[in-house]
């Protein structure tokens, strides 16, 4: 697709998404869309590291959690405004992500996955183990991170006062939409710039890339830093939207759900995260009534998707495979037509 086609498609989608609140006022539907914005935004940034640069980092939810926790803690303990803490959360995530980038430099492939997963697990364990009381102000023990039960009721973006209780969700819906629009534009610019080509060159053949002037250390750290900012912002947005954050966002199941979304959509492709998150969340929604079979259903869906589209949904659409099947079907129908016409004569 040319840049112009990409922009046209993005604008079309943006108009549709912006019009959704006009079609429904269901708080549940809008809430699910906000959650979709968050996951889609997180996977878009993760895709830069995991897909475009080909570094198998599983630290993405941890970077998201750093953003979320930084904003929640500042709002909770210091009563900072949520708008400000979200920005600080984004910056904290950049720093964390950069450090993780440095930590992975000497590792390759699956070892990067192991290290980053261990870092994320350590963060979760540290939060759960945090039981030291910071203060006893209201007679209850308040810990720094909130421990196993997390932090809550620390404030939100103020849409409730501004728009009233019933319409507050609208404010958050459009804020989420703004975040993913800017985050996606950022990812698009990177993927199609010299920087994106350097990331892909290192992924495809790092020895050859080095011999063409591309410094692996520099660009590997850089991709982590770049992907950190919007991940952290979205973490803060998550905390502000739910007015709560807990260690369960570091659960392996969430990470796996998002990783699967990226793979189903198409790893390393700009439209992959959108297609993947939309497909996975839609399917998850359909399985809602199945209770304990929901996870199994999602697993089966993933297996079928990966077998049918090894390059992801977007990879399949871009490969021209669709056109090939189309022309085969036309050929087949022509043959049947021919056969049917000939048959009575025989």
Q: Is 200 in the site for another protein (CB under 8 A)?
A: yes
Nearer to another protein, 15 or 207 (CB): 207
Q: Which residues, numbered 128-157, are part of the site for another protein (CB under 8 A)? A: none
> Which of 128, 142, 195, 306: binder of another protein (CB under 8 A)?
195
Q: Is 7 in the site for another protein (CB under 8 A)?
A: no
Least Å from the CB of residue 260 to another protein: 22
Range in contact with another protein (rule: CB under 8 A) among 83-91, 156-164, 210-218, 243-251: 210-218
> Which of 149, 205, 327, 328: binder of another protein (CB under 8 A)?
205
Range in contact with another protein (rule: CB under 8 A) among 111-119, 177-185, 200-208, 292-300: 200-208
Q: Is 215 in the site for another protein (CB under 8 A)?
A: yes
Nearer to another protein, 194 or 345 (CB): 194
Nearer to another protein, 85 or 220 (CB): 220
Question: Dihedral through CA 186, CA 188, CA 193, CA 195, nearest 10?
Answer: 60
Nearer to another protein, 118 or 182 (CB): 182
> Which of 201, 280, 281, 298: binder of another protein (CB under 8 A)?
201
Q: Is 344 in the site for another protein (CB under 8 A)?
A: no
Which of 298, 207, 297 is CA-nearest to residue 261? Answer: 298
Q: Is 265 in the site for another protein (CB under 8 A)?
A: no
Q: Is 213 in the site for another protein (CB under 8 A)?
A: yes
Q: How far apart are CA 274 and CA 262, in angstroms?
A: 8
Range in contact with another protein (rule: CB under 8 A) among 30-38, 69-77, 152-160, 205-213: 205-213
Q: How many CB atoms lie within 10 A of CB 310?
A: 11
Nearer to another protein, 195 or 244 (CB): 195
Dihedral sign for Cα atoms in the order 143, 144, 150, 156: positive
Least Å from the CB of residue 203 to another protein: 8
Contacts of 142-145 with CB under 8 Å at 24 or more apart are: 144/73, 144/77, 145/69, 145/73
Which of 127, 155, 164 is CA-nearest to residue 143? Answer: 127
Q: Is 321 in the site for another protein (CB under 8 A)?
A: no
152 forms bridges with which residues in the sheet? 244
> Which of 210, 300, 334, 336: binder of another protein (CB under 8 A)?
210
Give the interface with another protein as residue ranges (CB under 8 A).
189, 193-195, 197-198, 200-201, 203-205, 207-215, 268
């Amino acid at each position: 697709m040319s840049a112009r086609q990409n922009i046209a498609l993005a604008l079309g989608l943006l108009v549709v998404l912006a019009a959704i609140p006009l079609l429904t006022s269901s708080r549940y539907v809008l809430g699910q869309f906000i959650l979709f914005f968050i996951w889609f935004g997180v996977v878009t940034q993760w895709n830069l590291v995991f897909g475009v640069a080909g570094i198998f980092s599983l630290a993405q939810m941890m970077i998201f959690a750093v953003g979320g926790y930084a904003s929640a803690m500042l709002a909770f303990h210091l009563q900072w405004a949520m708008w400000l803490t979200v920005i600080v959360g984004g910056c904290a995530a950049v720093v964390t992500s950069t450090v993780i980038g440095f930590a992975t430099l000497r590792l390759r492939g699956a070892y990067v996955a192991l290290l980053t997963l261990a870092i994320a697990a350590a963060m979760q364990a540290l939060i759960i183990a945090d039981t030291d009381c910071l203060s006893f102000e209201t007679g209850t023990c308040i810990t720094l991170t909130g421990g196993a039960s997390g932090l809550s009721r620390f404030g939100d973006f103020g849409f409730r006062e501004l728009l009233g209780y019933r319409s507050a969700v609208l404010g958050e819906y459009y804020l989420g939409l703004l975040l993913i629009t800017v985050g996606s534009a950022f990812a698009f610019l990177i993927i199609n710039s010299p920087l994106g080509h350097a990331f892909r060159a290192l992924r495809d053949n790092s020895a050859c890339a080095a011999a063409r002037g591309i410094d692996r250390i520099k660009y590997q750290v850089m991709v982590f830093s770049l992907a950190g900012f919007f991940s952290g912002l979205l973490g803060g947005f998550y905390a502000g939207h739910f007015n709560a954050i807990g260690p369960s966002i570091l659960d392996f199941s969430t990470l796996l759900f998002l990783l699967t979304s990226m793979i189903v959509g198409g790893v390393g492709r700009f439209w992959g995260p959108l297609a993947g998150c939309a497909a996975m969340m839609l399917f998850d929604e359909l399985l809602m009534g199945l209770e304990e079979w929901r996870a199994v259903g999602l697993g089966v869906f993933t297996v079928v998707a990966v077998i049918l589209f090894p390059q992801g949904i977007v990879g399949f659409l871009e490969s021209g495979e669709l056109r090939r099947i189309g022309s085969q079907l036309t050929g087949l129908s022509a043959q049947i037509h021919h056969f049917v016409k000939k048959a009575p004569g025989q």
